[in-house]
Amino acid sequence: MDRSDVETRMKALLVGELGLEADKINNDARFEEDLEVDSLGVVELLMALEDEFGVEIPDDEAESILTVGSAVEAVIAKTG
Amino acid sequence: MERRRVVVTGLGAITPVGNDVESFWDALLAGRSGVGPITQFDASDTKTKIAGEVKDFDPELYFEKRESRRLDRYVQLFIGAADQAMVDSGIDLDAEPELRERMGSIAGAGMGGLPSFEESLDTLRNRGPGRLNPLTIPKLIANMSAGMAAIRWEFFGPTNCTVTACAASANAIGDAAEVIRRGAADVMMAGGAEATVSEFVIGSFNSAKALSTNNEDPEGSSRPFDSNRDGFVLGEGGAVLMLEERERALARGATIHGEILGYGMSTDGYHVTLPRPGGKGQALAIEAALRDAEIDPSGIQYLNAHGTSTPANDKTETAAIKLAFGSSAQDVAISSTKSMTGHLLGGAGAVEALACLLAIRDQVAPPTINLNTPDPECDLDYVPNEAREMAITNTLSNSFGFGGHNVSLILGKHE
């Protein structure tokens, strides 16, 4: 899947579903520290990503997804 | 040692007839119903198609979007009313941070986040347990109103939640007053809210034959004490009272809206939904509140009835008032404001306590609307159809819940 396509859909999800501010979202943004998404919010986000992109993110992999960029990479790795 | 006294220094409300205290009160005095066709779900399959919904509630008045989406509507409505009450009280926790440890909250909800639960059941059945949202439990639990209040305003005193069905927020106010009386806190945010206009709840109440099915005449459907009443009308919303220890409130020059004078509780010990015939159980709560307030029945001028518009409640409550008030029963002005708001379940007690305080403030009793053909078994003065200007010093508010929980509060003019 095209990187910019993943980034665009990810941003739309973060804004539309989680109510985050669009201008704070970039690949380096850390969920907990920069975007103030708490641990429940991260779980919610990953589940929304699974639905959006039709992928499965196992719990042990989810623990290493701490930034918007790492979530993008995880989706690209799984969708090829 | 004299008992610590508890006064009310802040008011807030979000109700089917108005989303703040003054619009709520204007509607009650005008006899305006907030009942209409259900808009929150497609009611084509439920027998009852009407409810008292809160109109045009905008969560973003009180929350950022990322916060409101994590809260069930019942918590949003509670926090909205609480926010109004905090502002009205003039309490500024940043200016007196030491109050944070002396402030708490008790909030009532009969059901909690049932609509959130209902939504999550679709996910469970259709997609399996692994797809349940991580916020499912915090959204549905019935104690999140007081929890969220403490999170929002960062206070650290006692919090609790009462879940005594339709008596829940009356219990919340009474229990919160007790917390202040015994010295465990100086300020308590007390009240409750409910938001259960959902297919699951309407359908379940329909099966229990509890709801009015007068769909053709929404505004005339809630008709307490009338011969043609056919059940209660579900409402949503709630109210919050800021309770404060009297000396503290006087010292800071707070506006005092009234005093919590008495709190009485009893239980029917009879049936899951029906009141004990004859009103003995309910009368015990009224009598307990009068004793607590050290007031004779003749000292109560206005009584806000539980008055649900169910055949069983209204005649039993009438009998209970006669038992407790004796010869004074004929003299007290009684009204059911549920005739206008519908029945807010766990939010009802707080909204009706608020109506009592405003009745004292403006020296006027709100009416019971739709009372055109009085039930012969309901033969007291229910202030039919028109608000009544009168001298009001002390008021009593009844709230009775499924399970047989009976609560009476006495609210008086602050002297």
Task: Output the six-digit token pair for B262.
Answer: 């008495």
Which of A19, A20, A44 is opposite residue B133, by nearest beta carbon? A44
Q: What is the pLDDT of residue B2?
A: 82
What is the per-residue pLDDT across B177-189, written as a single tens digit (0 to 9) for each?
Answer: 999 999 999 999 9
Ramachandran assignment for B305, one of left (phi > 0), alpha (psi -120 to 50 degrees), beta (any other): beta
A18 contacts in chain B (CB < 8 Å): 66, 69
Partners of B408 in beta bridges: B264, B398
> Which is it for the CA torsion B262, B268, B269, B272, positive or negative?
negative
Q: Over the stretch B43-95, which tens digit does the pLDDT of each residue have? A: 999 999 999 999 999 999 999 988 999 999 999 999 999 999 999 999 999 99
pTM over 0.90: yes
Task: Quickly state the pLDDT bin for B1 (edges 50, 70, 90).
Answer: low
- Catalytic pick from A23, A28, A38, A60? A38
Instruction: Choose among B289, B352, B357, B356: nearest CA to B324.
Output: B289
Is residue B343 annotated as part of the catalytic site, yes or no?
Answer: yes
Q: Other CB atoms closer than 10 Å to residue A15's CB: what's the count?
A: 17
Cβ–Cβ below 8 Å for B134 and A40: yes
Which of the residues B64, B66, B67 would you substitute to probe the A interface, choosing the one with the greatest number of A C-beta atoms within 10 Å? B66
A34 catalytic? Reply is no
d(CA A45, CA A18) in angstroms, rounded, equals: 7
ipTM tops 0.90: no
Q: Which two tokens stand for residue B165?
A: 């069905």
Using CB atoms, pick whichever of B65, B69, B131 lies closest to residue A47.
B131
Say which of B161, B257, B343, B356 is annotated catalytic: B343
Say if the Cβ atoms of A47 and B134 lie within 8 Å.
yes
